[in-house]
Amino acid sequence: DVKVTQSSRYLVKRTGEKVFLECVQDMDHENMFWYRQDPGLGLRLIYFSYDVKMKEKGDIPEGYSVSREKKERFSLILESASTNQTSMYLCASSSNRVFRYEQYFGPGTRLTVT
């Protein structure tokens, strides 16, 4: 059974703080993704990675960066948190070994920036 975990379910940070969101998957998946979910806007891709140390910008990368030093771990970094980054953040992973592109999601981190 695929397991994707995220470091926190709820997080409250102050404007200007540096924020780290961690995601770990245990199925040896090559691909990992970070999304933010806002009401009425669906799932918007921030960054993704298809290999260790590789990263690609998604649709809304501004204000974010990522790190993938190990295959199982993908970190999202908010260099200087702002109130408009208050959102639900979802991590996902998928395998290249099956032609299905199924993404397995983590439970989400609800981030509030005050």
Partner 1 sequence: GENVEQHPSTLSVQEGDSAVIKCTYSDSASNYFPWYKQELGKRPQLIIDIRSNVGEKKDQRIAVTLNKTAKHFSLHITETQPEDSAVYFCAETTGANSKLTFGKGITLSVRP
Under the rule (CB under 8 A), what is the footprint of partner 1?
A: 31, 33, 35, 40-45, 48, 50, 56, 58, 90, 94, 96, 100-103, 105-108
Distance (Å, whole) CA 48 – CA 80 = 20
Least Å distance between CB 110 and partner 1? Answer: 10
Residue with tokens 């920036």: 113
- Of 93, 69, 57, the C-alpha closest to 20 is 69
Closer residue to partner 1 (CB): 35 or 74:
35
Q: Please identify, using beta-carbon distances, which residue of 81 and 90 lies nearer to partner 1.
A: 90
Number of Cα atoms under 13 Å in the Cβ half of residue 24:
4
The residue (of 16 and 107) whose beta carbon lies closer to partner 1 is 107
In the complex, least distance from residue 7 CB atom to partner 1, rounded to whole angstroms = 15
Straight-line distance from the first to the last Cα atom of the chain, in angstroms, rounded to the nearest whole number:
37
Nearer to partner 1, 44 or 71 (CB): 44
CB of 75: closest distance to partner 1 in angstroms? 19
Taking the complex as a whole, the smallest distance from the CB of residue 71 to partner 1 amounts, in Å, to: 15
